[in-house]
Structure 1
Amino acid sequence: MKDHSKIDRISTGVRNLDEILAGGLPEGNLTVFAGPPGSGKTILSQQIAFKNATPDSRVIFFQTLSESTAKTLKYLKQFDFFDQSKLDTGCIEFVDLGDILRLDGLEKAIELLMNHVKRLKPSFVVIDSFKVFDDLAKSREELRKFTYEVAINLMAWNCSALLLGEFSKQEIDTNPLFSIVDGIITLQHFSEAGEERRFIQISKMRGTNHSRDEHTFVINTEGLEIYAPRVTIRRQPNSDRKIKGDGPVRAKLGITTLDALLGEGIPWGSSVLISGVAGTGKTLLCLEFIYKGAKEFGEKGIFFSFEETPDRLITAAHGMGWELGEQIKKGNIEIVFVPQT
C-alpha cells in the first residue's frame, strides 16, 4: 500500500484509537459510528468533538433526538474531557434538530443544518443520530436524496463529519448512506459471565492502512479507553545483567524458600510457564513477583491480565499486604487488562 502519511489527520484524543487509525481520522472524511444503543457512539463523538474544538476549529453537534441540550450537558460534565469554556466561547455548539424534524420534516431540517454550517463555518460536524432520518423519510428515494444532499453540502464546506446511528449489519450493506461515506466504525457491547464486554472495529476508512481487528475498550471518566495489546517485545542482552561471575544474573521471585529451590531465582531474560489448576495460586505468585521486583529492586513490570480486572488484582494484592496500587501510581507497575473475546 502507498504511504498515506501525508494525509492531514485529526487526533481523536482517545487512547490507542489514533494508533489503530494509523494517525487519526483523515481530515474532511465523513465517518459513520454504527452500533446498538449504549455501545458508546455518543460518548466517543463527544470526546473527539471536545478534543478538536478551538476558536480556529469550531465544532457543531447536531442532536436529532428528543433529549434536550441541558440534559446532554448534565451527563457530559462527568467526563474529564468536558470543558465548559469551549461552550462559553463558542468553540463547540449544540443544536437541536428534533423539533423541526418532527414538525416540518427532512427538507426544513437540512435547511436549518446548512444555515448553521454556513454561519459558523465549522471544521467538524457531528449528527446524533443520523438514523432518525431513516424513520422520518416517507420513501427510500427521499432518504437517498436527503443523504446525498447532506453529504455533498458537508464536503463542499470541507467539514469533517461524524454521523451516528443504530445501524445493523444488514443496514450497513443496504443503506444509501454507506455508499458515500469515507469511514465506518462499529461499536458493540454485550455481557458475558457477569462482565460487560465492549468492542470497536474500523470497518472502513479511506486513505488509511488501518487495523481491521476488533479491539476491546472500556468507558470511564476519561471517556473511551481502547486496548490495543499487540506489542513487540525484544530482548536486549546486557552484559552487566546477563553475566555475573560464573553464571547468569537471576531474578528473584521474592519468595525465600522458592528462590532457594531455584538457585536464587530464575535466569534473567528467561521465559517461565506457571502452570496449575484454578485456585492453586498462579496469579498471586505472579503478583508477588512483580510487586516485590518493583518495591525491593526498583524494577519496572507489566502485568497482562486476560481475566481479572486491575481493580480485582489490586484488591487481591492488598489482601496479601502488597500495596500494588502504590507501585502503579509511582509508574513502576502497569496492569494491562485484555478482556477475552
Structure 2
Amino acid sequence: MRVLVTGGAGFIGSNFVRRMLAGAYAGFEDAEVVVLDKLTYAGNRGNLAAVLADPRLRFVQADICDRDAVAGAIAGVGTVVHFAAESHVDRSLLDGDAFVASNIVGSYELLRAALRAEVDRFVLVSTDEVYGETETASWTEDFPLRPNSPYSASKASAELIARSFHRTYGLPVCTARASNTYGPFQFPEKLIPLFVTRLLDGLTVPLYGDGSQVREWIHVDDHCRGIALIAGAGRPGETYNIGGGTEISNADLTKLLLEFLDSDWSQVRFTEDRKGHDRRYSIDCRKIREELGHRPLIAFREGLLDTVRWYADNRHWWEPLKQPGELPLAAMAEPR
C-alpha cells in the first residue's frame, strides 16, 4: 500500500507520517509513504528527521498547484491524505492570495490527479472553522457552512469541490473537520507555541480582546489517529468531525500556560481584537465515535503540559523559526 501525504512536513502532517511509519495505524503498518510538500515557511524537513532514512518514505518537494509534480507523486498511490494548506487566519486577513491558490486551486489539482490515478480513498483535512461560530450549540456534520475569514472560506470551497468530485465522478472522498490542534512541532506563530516560547524568553504575550473567545482543543496524536481511521474505514462521501472534547477560553488557556511556566498576568498584554473574530467553536463528534470508534486519549491538561515541556527542551527547533516583524505580534495570537 502506498499513501500520498500532502503537507507532510508541516505540524499535523509530519506527526501523521511519523506515526504511520512507526506502525501506529491499523491497516497501514507496512505502508509506503510519499510526502509532497512545498516547504513554505511552516514546512520543515526537520519535522521528519526521525524518519527521513526510512526506505518506505519518499519525499517530493513541490507545490500542490504544480500539475506535473502532483501527477508524478500520485502514481501508484492508493490513499491520499491531503493536509497541505495555508492555515493561519490572520495571514489570510492580510493577504488571501496564497489561501485561494493553495487551498482551492491546489485541492482541485489533487482531486483531478486522484481521479485520473483511480485512488481508493481521498481524505480532505479541513477545519471546524468552516461552520463559522456558535453561541450555544455544537455543530454536527450537516450544519450549514458559514465561514467568516478568507482562510475558512477557502477550506469550505475545497470541501465543495471535493464533494463535487465524489457526487459527479464517484471519487471516494472523505472530509475531516477537526478542532484546534496542539502539540510538538507546531510553528511558533500559533497561540500555544507563540505564548510558550515568548514566556520561556521572559517576554510578554498578546491576548486578543478580553480573551473570552472559546475554542475546542485536540492533541495532534488524537487528531491524526482520527484521520487514519477515516482513511481506513470512513464512508466515501461522508464528513467527520474530530474533536478533543475540551472547550476553553483563550484567557483560561493563557492562565494554564502562565501556571505551567511560573509566570503571571504581568506578562500578558491585551490587544485590539482581530476583525471578524469568531466567539466560539464547538463540534459534535458522535459520528466518528459511533462509526469508527474514535475517542481522544490524551487529556488536555496532561497534553498541554507535555507540549510546554517539549518546547522548553527543544529550543534548537523553534529558535531558528522565529521571524520578528513578519506579522504584527497581535496577529500571531490566533489559535490556528
| TM-score, normalising length: structure 2 | 0.36
Q: Which has the higher helix share?
A: 2
Comparing both structures, which one devotes a greater share of its residues to strand? 1
Q: TM-score, normalised by structure 1?
A: 0.35
Q: Which has the larger radius of gyration?
A: 1
